[in-house]
Amino acid sequence: MSGHAVIAWGVAWLILPYLPPRWRWVAIGLALLNSIARVYLGAHNPLDVVGGGALGIAIAASLHLAVQPYRRDRLRATPTAPTPSTGPEPS
C-alpha cells in the first residue's frame, strides 16, 4: 500500500468542503497526479495506489463524520440577533 497515496488522497478529501467549487478539481487532480507518478516511477503497483487512495479517503471521511466540517448553509440557518432600538420604547 502506498503511504504517499494515503496522505495525498486523505488531505485532498479533507480540504474539499473548505474549497470553492471551482478549486476542488485542483485538489483531486494533484492527488491523482501523485498516484500516477508513483506508478510511473515504479515505486508501486497500480493496486497499491488504489488501495492507498481508498484508505486515505476512508480516513478523511471518518474524520469528517467525527468533526462535521464547516458548511455555509449552517450560517444561513442561524437566526440573527435583534438590533438594539435607538429611541425610547413606546409606552
Give domain status of residue 62, yes or no: no
pLDDT of residue 66: 86
Give domain status of residue 77, yes or no: no
Per the structure, the count of domains in the chain is 1
Give domain status of residue 63, yes or no: no
Give domain status of residue 78, yes or no: no
Domain encompassing residue 36: 1-47
Cell of 91: 409606552
pLDDT of residue 72: 60
Instruction: Kindly report, residue by residue over 45-80, the tens digit of the pLDDT.
Output: 999 999 999 999 999 999 988 887 666 655 555 556
Q: Which of 49, 4, 10 is nearest to 28 (CA)?
A: 10
Instruction: Kindly report, residue by residue over 16-56, the tens digit of the pLDDT.
Output: 988 998 999 999 999 999 999 999 998 899 999 999 999 99
Reported residue count of the chain is 91
DSSP state of 41: T
Distance CA 32, CA 52 (A): 12
Distance CA 31, CA 14 (A): 12
Distance CA 18, CA 58 (A): 18
pLDDT of residue 68: 75
Which amino acid makes up residue 73? D
Location of C-alpha cell 510511473: 40
pLDDT of residue 89: 63
Give domain status of residue 84, yes or no: no
Rounded to the nearest integer, the mean pLDDT of the chain is 84
Confidence of residue 14 (pLDDT cuts 50, 70, 90): very high
Give domain status of residue 73, yes or no: no
Give domain status of residue 10, yes or no: yes
Give domain status of residue 23, yes or no: yes
pLDDT of residue 50: 94
